[in-house]
Amino acid sequence: MGTTANFSVDPRLASVLGENYNSSERALRELVDNAWDAEARVVRITLPDILTEGPIVIADDGSGMKEQELRQEYLKIASPRFKRKGEKTPNLQRTVKGRRGIGKFAGLILAENMEVVTKAHGIETCLLISKAALLGTGKDIEQIPLPIAVINCEAKEHGTTVTLRVLNQNLNYPKAERLREILAYDFGREADFQIFINGVRVLRHDVQGTTFTKVYNLSNGKKATATYTIAEKPVPGRRAGLILRVGEKTVGRPHHWGLEHDEQLSDRLRNRAVGEVQVDADAIELTAAGGDVIESDKALEELTGLIQQDVKASLGGIHANEVKLAKGRWTQLMNRRLEAVPEHRRAIIEERLERLISRSYQEGENEERITVLVGLVIDALEMDEYWKVCREIETAEKVDVFHFAEALDKFGLTDLAFIAQQTKRRTEFLDYLDKLIADPKTTEKQMHLALQNSLWVFGTEYSLMASNRQLRSIVESYTQQSFAGADGADRPDLLLAANVENRHLLAEFKRPSTVVGRDAEAQAKKYADTLTGRLGIEFEIFIVGGEVDPKLQQEYTGKRTHFLSYSAINARARNQLEWLLKQLNQKP
């Protein structure tokens, strides 16, 4: 019996290695990395149209390979270029991206057949790799013959063309826009490396804003450098965040390094941070293909905490400065009105204005709207006479019963005046709500946002109902668990509210263009039953849409499930306000 043993390499390894990439676009990026390492100056990628049988072609003008290089180096599995030839390319001194020696198999995730045609020193070499041939043989991968042909070509010709044919129909075709975005992070700023996708060059545009650079010394002795910009306005969600660059290669997608769970930051503020985090090639553990990080890596956990702290501080600093400047503008604008306010109350107004401006800026409100809101705040605080009347009551209590009763009467009159003013403001609110209802582009989310803090619209008995953080967390947790993955697009828009008597309301919002009927009823009752089982409480259910199926009106009268249209809610609320104003105007 022998005293040694050898690995037997299954041919399925080539397919498995190709499947290390989590998207078609990222698999193609590996082939572009090969062109970079080959010192190409131009790469042209051709993607086929959807539902066509055309191939994917990646052509570069790099150094190409001789037949011997193709056989002994290219076909050698897990033989990284930097181990064979050093960290830098020989002529252009580029940092080599190939770190695993398996990127060549990326094409096998996309196609059944991969053809490699490479030219160097007057020789053209053509290699064919068939996934079916690899998987169908019983031999070890080293023993599988791969068709290869060698012919002469012009001595000045050089470069490599990879053609992927018979594309995998179980995968979505690579999208040019998504591929362009991925490649832009790695190559968009390289002056001597141009990439064209279907004839359009890949470019990385700078973001306008304030840029920060932070250097971190990690516990494992490695360094990391974060360079990010707080943009003047939010960027699209898929581009926001900081991307990780390990060595000269980006890993994964841009993300917020845990700040997406910070409730103090709005999405609009968070999405103003754009940049990258650069670490050494061996600073963080990566998956086999190098396309993603191992989340339990200690250095990554340490780095994540540091980045969270600094990016949040940068966002907060920029935001605070913007709020300070904005406050100065609006304070100057309203200066005349502030002069008429008692001095001891100006501090209250300034504090409220600062809070309003800060919140509005974070939510991305435009300046015209903020000006209107500032005016409303000053209106409300100017007309608030409670403080004056309460002071009179306090004084009258020490004098005699007559003056005390008179002071209480004043309080009642002031209260009525406040209610009248509030009624007028609510009528204006309903005017704006009408416009939102009439707009065909209005979504469930927008209607939810408009009504969540104005439940009085549903009736006076709901005025003291509210949705707090705990109730919002319950709904969010339920919908995330029940509508995960492919069902995420069907996630309902639910509002859970309660009052001091522990009465609960579950409202499901539909688009104003939607007719609600039995299907909506079944869904809403299912949501309510599930939440009742979890919380041990019963709900009154509102299903709100643009119209209500008239067949349901009589049948459901008096039951806990109510079908409502936005227009009917608005009209009923308006009638109640008009009646209240009429009663108030009759007071002496």
**Residue 415, H or E segment:** helix 401-438
Q: List the 194-197 sheet strands across, edge first.
A: 148-152, 123-130, 111-120, 159-167, 56-60, 42-46, 194-197, 200-201
Q: What is the mean pLDDT of residues 133-159?
A: 82
Q: Which residue has the higher pLDDT, 419 or 146?
A: 146
The CA-CA-CA angle for residues 383, 387, 392, to 5°, reads: 120
**Residues 258 and 139 both lie in one domain:** no
220 token code pair: 């494992």
**Could you tell me which residues are beta bridge partners of residue 217?**
223
The predicted structure's pLDDT at residue 59: 96
Assess if residue 374 is contained within a domain: yes
The predicted structure's pLDDT at residue 322: 75
| DSSP character at residue 155 | T
Residue 272 near residue 233, CB atoms below 8 Å: yes
- Which pLDDT band holds residue 344 (cuts at 50, 70, 90)? low
**Residue 111, H or E segment:** strand 111-120
How do residues 531-544 score in pLDDT, each as one tens digit?
777 777 777 888 88
- Percent of the chain clearing pLDDT 90 (strictly above): 16
From 318, 350, 370, the end of a domain falls on 318
Domain that holds residue 216: 209-318
Q: What is the mean pLDDT of residues 130-153?
A: 79
Q: What is the mean pLDDT of residues 38-53?
A: 89
**Residues 165 and 303 both lie in one domain:** no
Q: Which residue has the higher pLDDT, 362 or 316?
A: 316
| DSSP character at residue 175 | P
List the single range of 1-15, 169-183, 187-201, 407-421 with lowest mean pLDDT. 1-15
Residue 210 near residue 263, CB atoms below 8 Å: no
Burial of 21 (0-12, 13-18, 19+ CB in 10 A): buried
From 263, 285, 318, the end of a domain falls on 318
List the single range of 8-22, 87-101, 304-318 with lowest mean pLDDT. 8-22
379 token code pair: 């209106």
Q: Closest by alpha carbon to 64, among 107, 14, 116? A: 116
List the CATH number of the domain containing 110. Answer: 3.30.565.10
Number of domains present in the structure of the chain: 4
The predicted structure's pLDDT at residue 16: 47
| DSSP character at residue 286 | B
**Residues 224 and 271 both lie in one domain:** yes
Assess if residue 5 is contained within a domain: no
Continuous H helices in 220-342: 267-270, 298-333, 335-339
CB hemisphere CA count around 341 (13 angstroms): 23
How do residues 230-278 score in pLDDT, each as one tens digit?
988 888 777 788 988 887 777 878 889 999 888 778 888 888 898 889 8
Q: Which residue has the higher pLDDT, 2 or 269?
A: 269
Q: Which residue has the higher pLDDT, 380 or 543?
A: 543
- Give CA–CA dist 30/575, Å, rounded: 66
Query: Is the pLDDT assigned to residue 320 strictly greater than 90?
Result: no
Continuous H helices in 198-289: 267-270
**Residues 303 and 346 both lie in one domain:** no
- Percent of the chain clearing pLDDT 70 (strictly above): 71
